[in-house]
Structure 1
Amino acid sequence: MESIFTLYICACVAFWGPGLVTGSKVLLVSMDGFRWDYIERARTPNFTEFAKMGSRAEYLTGVFSSKTFPSHYTIATGLYEENHGIVGNYMYDPTTQRTFSPRNAKENEWWGGEPIWVTARRQSLKTAVYNWAGSEAEIMGYRPNFYTAYNKSIPFSERLDTVIEWLTNTSFAVELVLLHFQEPDSTGHDFGPYGAETLAKVEEMDGVLEDLVSRFDAANLWSSVNVIVTSDHGMANTSDQRMVDILDYVDHNAIKETPTLGAVVNLLVMPDMRDEVYRNLSKAPHMSVYMREDVPTRFHFSNNPRILDINASEYWYASDQGGHGYDNELMSMKPIFYARGPDIKVGYTSATFNLVDIYPLVCELLNVTAAPNNGSLDVAATILNRPVSEAVQERSNYVFWLLVLFVSSFCNMH
């Protein structure tokens, strides 16, 4: 009796215990500001080859506002901004009366939801993160097992050195890696999405992908690691002839806080001047202005105190020659999605899906249970070459029959 019970317990540990989860490893790569149609306008043979060897979507639909911190944390959590709380690269919290910027991103209080590195760690997987929004904060009592302080000056090849070391060196034994590159976003801001310099940078990032693939080939990682290459948002063309100054329409004495300016304006106003500010700002051209409670539902940008009294969007704005943050339905804001690995179909193009869907997809690849999220596998999982949660079902069935064996043996002995 005791030996059968021990066999059952050992089998459960073998199938459910730490370090023996049956999902494949995942490398999730973001090339910041990589607009979906850059592929069509630049020479990108390595992206073409990557798609032939795996799957891609024509584009993804990101979140509103389509900014770097909110979008990357949405990728990590599968949540809209109103649910994870990172509503801008800069924001004001009226509850704590504190202002967020990338400088204090290490502080735990800002980050809601459960990012994928926490989901994985809570289920006994090892994780590593390189330059990803939120990864330096302690969230729900966890940080990644290995992570870097944000430093955009580190050469891309050196970042790949570290990532390959995480995936291959048994002293790390990492099963999930997130990697962020700040290009072609930085160049796109300086020269716009149609600039020759930006397209040259896109071709340089195609070379980075070639480097990554070569390293995977050399390390024989394709049989064990699924690679996703995506982005947070696209890039729109702007100019200094297309700019609205809100102070031309609103008395600055009526404004208490303006943490966000640019493609989206987030205003905290004096309580007795809310209606007046709204009326006056609504007179500005090329701008959509909303009270917080009236922001269109499709933006999922209303139900959070960090989304302030009045929001203005879709307006003409000068940000060097390129900008983002606009309506996520605009084609200029659409990011890329490519995937390749042991669980990914070969030569497949999926229908478009949403940025929030990446989180549950990564959970499925890792074979971990996802935290509550806004994503869906209805479309994203069509890139898989196996049924969803097949491994979970197989493990459940196996342990079920071990339980039957245990109960049957127990009954026979009594």
Structure 2
Amino acid sequence: MYFIFYVLTISVCLSTWMFEVSGNKVLLISMDGFRWDYIEQVDTPNFDAFAVNGTRAQYINGSFVTKTFPSHFTMATGLYEESHGIIANSMYDPEFNEYFNKRSKETKWWDGGEPLWITARKQGLKSAAYFWPGDEAKIKGLRPNIHFKFDGTIPFRSRIDSAVQWLSDDIDLVMVYLSEPDTTGHLFGPNTPQVRSKVKEMDDLLGYIVDAFDKASLWDTVNVIITSDHGMTEVDYANKHVDLSNFIDMNVVDAIPTTGPTANILPRVDMEQEIIDNLTNVPHIKVYSKDDIPEHWHYKEHRRILPVLVVAEEGWVALKGPEEYSEPDLGAHGYDNTLSTMKPIFYARGPNIKQGFESLPFSIVDIYPLVCKLLCLKPAPNNGTLDNTKYFIVNDNSESCPRVTSSSSRNYLQIYMLAILSLFLISPIRNIL
């Protein structure tokens, strides 16, 4: 009997070795509204050290519109906003005849793309998302293995503690959303002492992350990406606005679901050209029919993008009327993604990331295929490319990626191997006994 136990133990060890995960884990953190040049305005020793031990880009190019929900879902899916359908924080769907806001969790709003947490689950890995836009919706029949209802009162360090624990256990991908420095940037404007103080706090948080990884001995198995969704610029709603009601008859408008840096307008039947004509020469805005929206924005092919798009000049806002003049925010985003003030940050460190490397700028859609590569996942169709990030990927495990399994899948494989080996080994032993 002791010999049988010995054989079974060897079988388990062999099966564990044969099916060890080839890819490394990933922690993806978004610091909302972290503009690329905030780093240059204050001392950020932890970001500086992170770059020395990994890779940074001076900035990356966000998606249009540069808003939180669309940008985060683009990052998660690698799809342009016109492809995944989350085209604004607030929007109208003419097919549903319904409005979307940041509390909308129904699958029908979110099923235009496959986010990383679903790609991971479909291929046998385990995923967790901490307040990432879209993570509460069921997509492709799945949600992350771990997810929560949004609660902005949960301290950032508590979120990091949870992420470190999950990665120390059996979770392969963790995505964490942090709402700063965006909140502070909105309240006070980007070029203020309050924002500089908040950037220092986020630098301290990064130091906390590094220390936590040191204590948990995770640097050999986890790649960490720190990025953001967009930047921030100064606004003055009271004095630098274009009141659309001064130029168009609101009786010929069915809906304007979003205003500010951009406004989507749904005209009544046959009123589109009249609205465009009346707004064409108005200072501080540009107006586009849907067909004429610039190609480089990748923002025209979805039905939720309404027939008329107004884009304000940087620092100005397009409003529906006087009721919106009193908006207290002194900072905003949502403008043309080619503006330098709209550019996000990007830092990465880990076993598959080159050290001391500065990458050329790349697109936010390239993050999805990058994370898939690090996790050894086959990406879903997307608009990104590895061509822009392959230069800082090291210790590439491509040849062994087909053998990758999650911890749970590996357990099933171990049991399978154990059963097979037992058939061959135990039967002859019975004869001997």
Q: TM-score, normalised by structure 1?
A: 0.88
Aligned to 2:293: 295
Of structures 1 and 2, the larger Rg is shown by 2
Aligned to 2:423: none
Aligned to 2:8: none
Q: Does residue 322 in structure 1 map to residue 331 in structure 2?
A: yes
Aligned to 1:145: 145
Query: In 2, Cα distance between the equivalents of 1:87 and 1:14?
Result: 45
Aligned to 1:346: 355
Q: Aligned AA for 2:312?
A: E
2:375 alignment partner, one of 347, 351, 366:
366
Residue 266 of structure 1 aligns to a residue whose secondary structure is strand
Aligned to 1:51: 51
What is the 5 A alignment of 1:56-205?
56-104=56-104, 106-111=105-110, 112-169=112-169, 173-205=170-202
Quickly say closer, same or farther: Cα 1:153–1:393, change in 2 above 3 A: closer
- Residues 27-85 of structure 1: CA distance to partner in whole angstroms, max 9, x if unpaired? 00000000000000012110000000100011000010000000000000000000000
Per-residue deviation at 1:388? 7.5
2:395 alignment partner, one of 364, 381, 386:
386
Q: Does residue 223 in structure 1 map to residue 220 in structure 2?
A: yes
Query: In 2, Cα distance between the equivalents of 1:99 and 1:114?
Result: 22
Per-residue deviation at 1:391? 3.5
What number of residue pairs does the alignment pair up? 378
In structure 1, list runs of 5 or more residues that go unmatched.
Answer: 1-9, 396-414
Tell me if the contact between 2:30 and 2:227 (Cα under 8 Å) persists in the aligned partners: yes
Q: Aligned AA for 1:123?
A: Q
Tell me if the contact between 2:74 and 2:81 (Cα under 8 Å) persists in the aligned partners: yes
Tell me if the contact between 1:125 and 1:174 (Cα under 8 Å) persists in the aligned partners: yes
Per-residue deviation at 1:392? 3.3
Per-residue deviation at 1:14? 8.0
Tell me if the contact between 1:295 and 1:301 (Cα under 8 Å) persists in the aligned partners: yes
Query: In 2, Cα distance between the equivalents of 1:237 and 1:58?
Result: 21
Tell me if the contact between 2:376 and 2:397 (Cα under 8 Å) persists in the aligned partners: no
Q: Aligned AA for 2:192?
A: G
Quickly say closer, same or farther: Cα 1:16–1:320, change in 2 above 3 A: farther
Q: Aligned AA for 2:354?
A: K
Per-residue deviation at 1:130? 0.1
Per-residue deviation at 1:241? 2.3
What is the percent sequence identity of the aligned residues? 49
- Residues 187-225 of structure 1: CA distance to partner in whole angstroms, max 9, x if unpaired? 001111101101100110001111111100000000000
Residue 244 of structure 1 aligns to a residue whose secondary structure is strand
2:248 alignment partner, one of 241, 247, 250:
250
Per-residue deviation at 1:16? 10
Quickly say closer, same or farther: Cα 1:277–1:131, change in 2 above 3 A: same
In structure 2, list runs of 5 or more residues that go unmatched.
Answer: 1-11, 318-326, 405-433
- Residues 233-258 of structure 1: CA distance to partner in whole angstroms, max 9, x if unpaired? 00011223211111111111111111
Runs of 4+ with >3 A deviation? 13-17, 390-395
Tell me if the contact between 2:21 and 2:403 (Cα under 8 Å) persists in the aligned partners: no
Query: In 2, Cα distance between the equivalents of 1:223 and 1:56?
Result: 19
Residue 312 of structure 1 aligns to a residue whose secondary structure is strand
Query: In 1, Cα distance between the equivalents of 2:271 and 2:260?
Result: 22
Q: Does residue 260 in structure 1 map to residue 258 in structure 2?
A: yes
- Residues 284-311 of structure 1: CA distance to partner in whole angstroms, max 9, x if unpaired? 2111110011100000000000000100
Quickly say closer, same or farther: Cα 1:275–1:56, change in 2 above 3 A: same
Query: In 2, Cα distance between the equivalents of 1:102 and 1:158?
Result: 23
CA RMSD, Structure 1 to Structure 2 (Å):
1.8
Aligned to 1:208: 205
Tell me if the contact between 1:381 and 1:388 (Cα under 8 Å) persists in the aligned partners: no
Query: In 2, Cα distance between the equivalents of 1:52 and 1:245?
Result: 48
Q: TM-score, normalised by structure 2?
A: 0.85
Aligned to 1:399: none
Residue 146 of structure 1 aligns to a residue whose secondary structure is coil
